[in-house]
Amino acid sequence: QSAGKYLRADSLNKSIKGTRVFNEIVDPKLLQKDIKEIADQLAEDVRNNILKAKRFDNRGRLKALKRSTIKQKGNARILINTGQLLNGVEVKKQGQTFVVKMTDKLYKVRRKAKSNRKKKSVGKSTIAISEIAGYLQNGTDRMPARPFFGTTKKRMKELVNAVVRQRIKQTR
């Protein structure tokens, strides 16, 4: 289900896809719509993991921040600082499928302005949000991994089954 930096939403059994039976029973336009629906739900799952500081594999919560990090940030929210990570989850069409990925847009650096206590964008960043997500996901030598991005086979199966049930209900 996870293919490195993104999640593929087309987990249909490759052995039946492309066969005559498959082609006769599946309308390609409906299939695209269903795959997009699965991708949208996967993206929503990733956003929920960010908001709730949950591991994607349902093995509990993410490791808490160090005291020094909390002091620097001013709060203990694990994956939330500016909201750019949360807003950086996107669904993109890639060939015949859709993928869920983190945006390649540059992270906007935000610091407290000297004149007042409000945070505002200052300077330019040379690091993409997707790269920051990679550091969070996999950890570094100074930071533990906080795997928020991904899905399980069980969850993918639930999503596919829900879409299939919905499609059957619509054709009756």
Q: Phi-psi region for residue 95, left (φ > 0), alpha (ψ -120 to 50) or beta?
A: left
Rounded to 5 degrees, φ, ψ at 64 are -65, 160
pLDDT of residue 49: 97
Residues 162 and 12 sit within 8 Å (Cβ to Cβ): no
pLDDT of residue 106: 93
| Tokens describing residue 64 | 């808490």
The pTM of the full predicted model, rounded to 2 decimals, is 0.82
| Tokens describing residue 63 | 């490791």
Least confident of 6-15, 127-136, 139-148, 154-163: 6-15
Residues of the chain with pLDDT > 90: what percent? 59
What average pLDDT does this structure show over 126-153?
95
Least confident of 73-77, 81-85, 161-165, 168-172: 168-172
Give me the helices (H) in 11-119, please.
20-25, 28-52, 67-73, 84-87
pLDDT of residue 85: 96
Q: Is the pLDDT of residue 123 over 90?
A: no
Least confident of 15-29, 124-138, 143-157: 15-29
| Owner of token pair 């799952």 | 45
What average pLDDT does this structure show over 111-130?
68
Distance set, CA 150 to CA 8, 57, 80, 98 (Å) = 10, 7, 18, 15
